[in-house]
Amino acid sequence: MYKTEMQKIGDASEKKIAFMQKSPLSYTVLSALAGIYVGFGIVLIFSIAGPIAADGGGAYLKLIMGPSFGIALSLVIFAGSELFTGNNMVFAVGHITKRVGLTPIIALFILCFVGNFLGSAFLAGLVIAGGSLTEASQALVLKVAAAKMALGPQEAFIRGILCNWLVCLAVWISLKTQSDTAKLVMIFWCLFAFISSGYEHSIANQTLLSMAMFLPHGPEISIGGFVHNQIFVTLGNLVGGGVFVGLVYWLSTPSLRMEAGAKLQEEAEPENN
């Protein structure tokens, strides 16, 4: 049923691996851009929400922050960049359909994640050095960052699953439609749902937690808390994008399952002879 879309994703996985292997530096730059683009969304929502929270509008924060975050994935998709969480779905499909091997996928994931972090931390440093965040916004950054660092492993993991399920649905829908308007609308709704529901995105957290680290802070903000959040949220993101979007839609395409079964049988026959 979704063979065309799966073939597009398989093609994309091959092209991404080839590009990464040909020019690791260029791939890292594109990954850093994705970290920056997602970071712009984080800076925007906290710039808007901080003063509102300080004026007693805390009950409406999620309703305000959710609709404002659409810029993040819109920039990633339309400007062009390499986002780790979106790639979770792409390479799950690429590997299941035998288009790319596991070793190059791991290498790409590492490079992409590091590049995303470099971009996120760079933007966070610029924002704090530039002094554009009000005291109210800084206070909200520290409050939310501390809460994220204090999440238990199970909470962070499950919220990571739910988050990237929505993010990769936005990416999936963008592959299915040729209409830029439709892409923007669905990006808006999927990111509205993830932000307003309080889910966890590893790359978005990189900018938020980095800003908290650069600001004067107490012991509740720490490198250990940063790493703790990143580990469990990233694992959840991998499952959310790779399993609940990539694998599920592959399972919903019988012709691809039959092709995969035939390939496995062909590979097994020489061993039996």
Per-residue pLDDT reduced to its tens digit, 132-170: 999 999 999 999 999 999 999 999 999 999 999 999 999
Q: Residue 148 region, left (φ>0) first, then alpha (ψ -120 to 50), else beta?
A: alpha
Mean per-residue pLDDT for 263-271? 59
Q: Which two tokens stand for residue 197?
A: 């529901």
Confidence band of 3 (pLDDT split at 50, 70, 90): confident
What is the chain's mean pLDDT, rounded? 93
What is the rounded (10 degree) CA torsion for 176, 182, 186, 189? Answer: -170
Q: Is residue 266 part of a domain?
A: no
Residue 263 lies in a domain: no
Which pLDDT score is estimated for 263?
A: 60
Could you read off the pLDDT of 67-126 as tens digits, one per residue? 999 999 999 999 999 999 999 999 999 999 999 999 999 999 999 999 999 999 999 999
Q: What is the pTM of this model?
A: 0.92
User: Is 259 inside any structural domain?
Assistant: no
Residue 262 has pLDDT above 70, yes or no: no
Task: Yes or no: say if 116 and 83 are a contact pair by the CB < 8 Å rule.
Answer: yes
- 173 within a domain of the structure (yes/no): yes
- d(C-alpha 99, C-alpha 15), whole Å: 10
Domain that holds residue 172: 3-254
Between residues 58 and 206, the one the model is more confident about: 206
Q: How confident is the model at residue 21 (pLDDT cuts 50, 70, 90)?
A: very high
CATH number of 45's domain: 1.20.1080.10
Count up the domains in the chain and report the number. Answer: 1
Task: Report the C-alpha gap between 133 and 50 in whole angstroms.
Answer: 9
**Does any domain span residue 34?**
yes
What is the per-residue pLDDT across 213-238, written as a single tens digit (0 to 9) for each? 999 999 999 999 999 999 999 999 99
Q: Per the domain annotation, does 103 fall within a domain?
A: yes
77 phi and psi angles, rounded to 5 deg? -80, -45
Q: Is residue 110 part of a domain?
A: yes
Residue 269 in any domain: the answer is no
